[in-house]
Structure formats: C-alpha cells, structure tokens
C-alpha cells in the first residue's frame, strides 16, 4: 500500500495479472472437466485433458482415457492428446511442446509426467491430486527429478477445479461398485457431495511458488489446506456434454487448418 491508502500500481498490476491468468486457467479447466464428464458417459474413467497452444491461446488437442477400448494400460488421456499434436506437427517436432500448456482434471501419473517432461512441455495445470500414481508431487515429483531429462522443466499449477474433478471420480467409483459382482458395503461407497479432503498444496508447490501463482492474498489457502473455490460448479459435471464434445473436435480441427495455411501463402491469393 502507498501512503494515501491506495494500493501501489505495481502491486495492483501484478495482482490483476494473476487474476487474469487464473481466469484463463479456470476457463480451460472447465473444458477439460466437461470432457471428463463426456468420458464418464461413454464408459471410460472420468479423466480428460485439453492441450492449449499458449502463444496463440487456442485449443489444439484433447484427450480422454482410452484403456477400456484399446485394452492397453498406457492409453491415458495425455497420450491421446500427444498423439493428436504429433499428427499435426510431425512426431519428431518436440519444439512445439515448449509452447503448450496441458489442462488435465487429475494430476498426471508417473508415466505421463515422465512422457510430458521428456517432450519438454511448457506448463501443466491440474485439478485434483492422483494419490495412487501421481507423478507431479503426490507419489513422485518427476517434473523436478534428475533422472528424467533434467534440463527440461515445466511449471505446475495444481488445484484448479479440484472439487469437480474429485466429484467425477466419486461418480465413477459409485457406478463401478454398483456394477461389481461383489459390491462393497454401502457405507464405504456412499456418494459424498459436500465433504472434500484437505488440499495439501505443499506436495506440489513451495509456499513461495504458491504465492507467485495465486497471489499473496491467497496464501492462507496454502497454510490452511483450503480449496480455491468453496462451491462446486455442478453444471460442468451433471450435464450431458455430447454437443460440447462435437464443438471441441471442430475447434481442434480448425487449429490445424490455420497452421497448415502458414507455410503456403499462395493458396490464399488463388
């Protein structure tokens, strides 16, 4: 604060830049969350992701878990999106990943975290932690280890739309349990819609990294293990997202068209 009680310009500029950045992240994470709902409705694990070309602020690829259809244990959402990017830019072009931000509803597993780091991704934003297999802090911290291409580093932003991501996983487990030939006791698997486990930010970020990303005004969220948002946006996870999915596919296709035009300017004049 300056002497007259007004926030100094540099502080307010910084905090509005943070807010704008976070709004952007929330917007893309809303898309990833809708896609995860779509995956749930189409018999897959509700984990999904969106890849954004950071400089032009456009969606260029998406991914959903595909382990059930493909019968492969490694067909995670991230790999589907990576394959789409490779199709557009050529598989050997890893330079493109320096300009790509991944939005994924659940923290990438160790395998995906390693793949993303080996490709040199710019930034990873995720919703909830992956307490069984997480590779960005929950179990291992591949993004800052020394055995996986240590010269590649990427920024990490956890906890965006975390409650929505957790709710989708709960929907999935309740459904799987109902389908199971040997369902577990009801009390074990009752759908909880109001209580969420504390968010242990320290697994993913240092206190100062948190402050850098979310702003000094939010530091109490770090200290008290609070979620960024108190409410759950049910519209993202309780609605059918088939139309959203059709639009998303078109959006990704449009991106590749625009890129394809660049090297051939003569086609525009003809």
Partner 1 sequence: MVKKKLNPLHIDYRRGIIENCLQQVTNNAGTDDPHLINVWTVDISCQNSRQFVEFIRMKVQDEDPTTFQHIKRIKKSKAEGFLTVIVCSTLMIDNEAEFLTLMECAPFSFHSTSRSSVVPAVGPSTKDLSLKWSNIYWPLVWRGNPNDQVLNDYVFDLPFIKRILSEISKQARNRIGERSGGLPVVSAFVNPKTKEVFYSSDARSSTSPLDHSIMRGITSVATLELERKSSPNARLQDETYLCLNFDVYTTHEPCSMCAMALIHSRIKRCIFLKRMENTGCLDCGSGDSYCMHSHRSLNSKYEVFRWLGEDYPVPQIDSNICC
Enzyme catalytic residues: 78
Stretch that binds partner 1, among 11-19, 30-38, 55-63, 104-112 (CB under 8 A): 104-112
End-to-end Cα separation, the chain, in angstroms? 59
Residue 102 or 113 having the CB closest to partner 1: 113
**Residue among 33 and 130 whose Cβ is closer to partner 1:** 130
CB of 141 to partner 1, least distance (A): 9
CB contact at 8 A, 125 and 25? yes
Q: Candidates 147, 181, 257, 262: give the one binding partner 1 (CB under 8 A).
A: 147
Q: Which of residues 163-202 bind partner 1 (CB under 8 A)?
A: 184-185, 187-188
Return the residues of window 59-98 that contact partner 1 according to CB under 8 A. 70-75, 79, 82-83, 86, 91-92, 94
Phi, psi for 28 (deg, rounded to 5): -70, -35
Pick from 141, 176, 182: which is nearest to 158 by CA? Answer: 141
Residues that bind partner 1 (CB under 8 A): 70-75, 79, 82-83, 86, 91-92, 94, 109-111, 113-115, 118-119, 132-133, 135, 139-140, 142, 145-149, 184-185, 187-188
């Amino acid at each position: 604060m300056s002497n007259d009680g007004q926030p100094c310009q540099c502080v307010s500029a910084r905090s509005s830049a943070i807010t704008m950045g976070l709004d952007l992240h929330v917007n893309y994470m809303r898309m990833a969350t809708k896609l995860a709902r779509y995956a749930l409705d189409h018999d897959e694990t509700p984990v999904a992701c969106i890849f954004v070309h950071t400089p032009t602020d456009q969606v260029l690829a998406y991914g959903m878990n595909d382990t059930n259809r493909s019968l492969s244990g490694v067909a995670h959402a991230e790999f589907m999106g990576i394959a789409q990017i490779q199709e557009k830019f050529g598989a050997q072009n890893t330079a493109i990943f320096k300009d790509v931000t991944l939005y994924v509803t659940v923290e990438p597993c160790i395998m995906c975290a390693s793949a993303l780091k080996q490709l040199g991704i710019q930034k990873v934003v995720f919703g909830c932690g992956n307490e069984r297999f997480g590779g960005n802090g929950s179990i291992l911290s591949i993004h800052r280890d020394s055995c996986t291409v240590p010269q590649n580093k990427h920024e990490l932003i956890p906890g965006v739309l975390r409650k929505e991501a957790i709710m989708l996983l709960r929907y999935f487990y309740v459904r799987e349990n109902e389908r199971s030939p040997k369902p577990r006791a009801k009390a074990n698997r009752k759908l909880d819609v109001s209580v969420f486990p504390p968010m242990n930010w320290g697994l993913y970020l240092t206190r100062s990294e948190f402050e850098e990303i979310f702003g000094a005004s939010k530091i109490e969220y770090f200290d008290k293990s609070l979620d960024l948002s108190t409410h759950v946006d049910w519209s993202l996870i309780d609605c059918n997202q088939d139309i959203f999915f059709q639009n998303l596919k078109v959006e990704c296709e449009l991106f590749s068209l625009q890129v394809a035009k660049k090297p051939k300017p003569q086609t525009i004049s003809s």
